[in-house]
Amino acid sequence: MRTQVAIIGGGPSGLLLSQLLNLAGIETVVLERQSRAHVLSRIRAGVLEQGTVDLLTRAGVGARMMREGHRHAGCVLTHDQQMIRIDFAAACGAEVMVYGQTEVTRDLHAAQDALGAQHVHGVEHVVLHDLDSASPHVSYVLDGRSHRLDCDFIAGCDGFHGVSRKSIPDSVRRDYEKVYPFGWLGVLSETPPLHEELIYASHPRGFALASMRNPMLSRYYIQVPLGDRPEDWADAAFWQEFRARMPCHLSERLVTGHAIEKSIAPLRSFVSEPMRHGALFLCGDAAHIVPPTGAKGLNLAASDVHYLSAGLVAHYRDSDSAGLEGYSVKALARVWQAMRFSWSVTTMMHRFPEHSAYDRQMQRVELMQLASSPVAQRLFAENYTGLPF
């Protein structure tokens, strides 16, 4: 089998890239290890920057998002009992959209089906070959049989644990990583959201986040030690701890319920450079991981896809390879800006085991500066709502 672009990974970045390329008349084949049902069962963040909203709309998958998503013109940070609202619209004239990643993925699958795009699920033993040549190809096993996919380019959209990044030689690749000494215990419940906007809470007991998916589906998180397991936390224990970390006037109106999903996500910052090696281009989590504090994971994947799809379209339509040649440098510039923002918010809002009284005072000062400085609020708002693609 042959295609123009082989896409490794059928998550949102791989699907969005395939959608944009197929709309431009460029052939793709998406190879995915898991079943479609498994991909759609993943619970992920749902805060979309304006650039991501625009890109999804351009890809023809924005209609349901615009109907069912929730535009947010601000968010709230709390310090003990103090509420600090960052007004995005006033600070930088932008907004974000709250719309779950699962729904984005569902919309992309429907659009891909309508286009007749080629997807192969259940692949195993994927290997990338001849990346430095003019004739790269991918081998894989499906239902016990070996297959070969020839292509012009390979897009590695297969996440942190995928094969794509590991196919770049160690002598070429440089990885940067920071592992945080805690995780987020997340609960999904069929209850009304605590607040109309996201709440990021800094508290002596640890960080907490109140978010939502729709008017009767809420997503809540608390900071927990890395050694904790979801089964260590009964629903009642979670709600008690979450309530303790919220300002009193909010915790009093919290509606609790059965947790329909409960999981713990470790926090890390990770960047792999370069994001291109020969015919291979990395996108999304294959190249970078950000703590969820800054709501950047899916949005960074979208900006990668924007740069890569534009480069591929220019290559095939105009024989112009400048976009492909500059892909890694351009994508990484935006990645590192998002890394800085996510790191700064994570450091400001969480309790670290090694923090001294001085460190905790500096966290308080950072939050008080956000409360009082329009300049600080604008910088926060610009980064949260998304730097230009």
Write down the catalytic residue from 193, 292, 315, 350: 292
Write down the catalytic residue from 99, 140, 307, 384: 384
Active site annotation includes 140 = no
State how far the Cα of 80 lies from the Cα of 91, in Å rounded to an integer.
24
Question: Phi-psi bin for 171: left (phi > 0), alpha (psi -120 to 50), beta?
Answer: alpha
Q: Give the pLDDT mean for 299-328.
A: 98
Do 17 and 124 fall into the same domain?
yes
Beta-sheet strands, E only, within the chain = 5-8, 28-32, 47-48, 70-72, 74-79, 82-87, 96-98, 118-121, 124-129, 137-142, 145-150, 153-156, 174-189, 199-202, 208-214, 217-225, 259-273, 276-277, 280-282, 288-289
Do 192 and 229 fall into the same domain?
yes
Do 140 and 16 fall into the same domain?
yes
pLDDT band at 185 (very low <50, low <70, confident <90, very high): very high
Do 256 and 281 fall into the same domain?
no
Strand 5-8 relative to strand 28-32: parallel, antiparallel, unpaired?
parallel
Distance of CA 96 to the CA centre of its chain: 14
Is 371 part of any domain?
Answer: yes
pLDDT in tens, 75-99: 999 998 899 999 999 999 999 999 9
Dihedral pair phi/psi, residue 145, rounded to 5°: -115, 140
Q: Residue 359 sits in which domain range? A: 180-267+351-385
Is 22 part of any domain?
Answer: yes
Do 262 and 136 fall into the same domain?
no
Do 233 and 250 fall into the same domain?
yes
Do 14 and 121 fall into the same domain?
yes
Is 91 part of any domain?
Answer: no
Q: So what's the pLDDT on residue 37?
A: 86
Dihedral pair phi/psi, residue 169, rounded to 5°: -55, 145
Do 38 and 110 fall into the same domain?
yes
pTM of the entire structure? 0.94
Q: Give the pLDDT mean for 163-191.
A: 97
Active site annotation includes 136 = no
Do 187 and 171 fall into the same domain?
no
Quote the percentage of the chain above a pLDDT of 70.
Answer: 99
State how far the Cα of 320 lies from the Cα of 312, in Å rounded to an integer.
9
Active site annotation includes 384 = yes
Tokens matching residue 242: 């979450």
Active site annotation includes 72 = yes
CB-CB contact of 335 with 269 (8 Å):
no
Burial of 286 per CB tally in 10 Å (0-12, 13-18, 19+): buried
Is 88 part of any domain?
Answer: no
Query: Among 78-82, 175-179, 318-322, whose mean pLDDT is lowest?
Result: 78-82
- CA of 384: how far to CAs of 127, 151, 294, 363, in Å? 37, 37, 7, 19
CB-CB contact of 280 with 183 (8 Å):
no
Which CATH number is 188's domain given?
Answer: 3.30.9.10
Dihedral pair phi/psi, residue 219, rounded to 5°: -125, 120
Q: So what's the pLDDT on residue 215?
A: 87
Which CATH number is 50's domain given?
Answer: 3.50.50.60
State how far the Cα of 19 lies from the Cα of 16, in Å rounded to an integer.
5
Which residue, 214, 15, 46, 45, is CA-closest to 119?
15
Q: So what's the pLDDT on residue 40?
A: 81
Domain total of the chain:
2
- Does a cis peptide bond (omega within 30 degrees of 0) precede residue 136? no
Q: Give the pLDDT mean for 131-140.
A: 96
Is 358 part of any domain?
Answer: yes
3-state secondary structure 139-157: EEEECCEEEEEECCEEEEC
Do 249 and 357 fall into the same domain?
yes
State how far the Cα of 208 lies from the Cα of 218, in Å rounded to an integer.
14
Write down the catalytic residue from 288, 296, 306, 330: 296
Do 190 and 288 fall into the same domain?
no
Res. 42: pLDDT tops 80: no
Active site annotation includes 220 = no
Is 80 part of any domain?
Answer: no
Write down the catalytic residue from 99, 180, 200, 327: 200
Q: So what's the pLDDT on residue 39?
A: 85
Write down the catalytic residue from 12, 72, 109, 306: 72
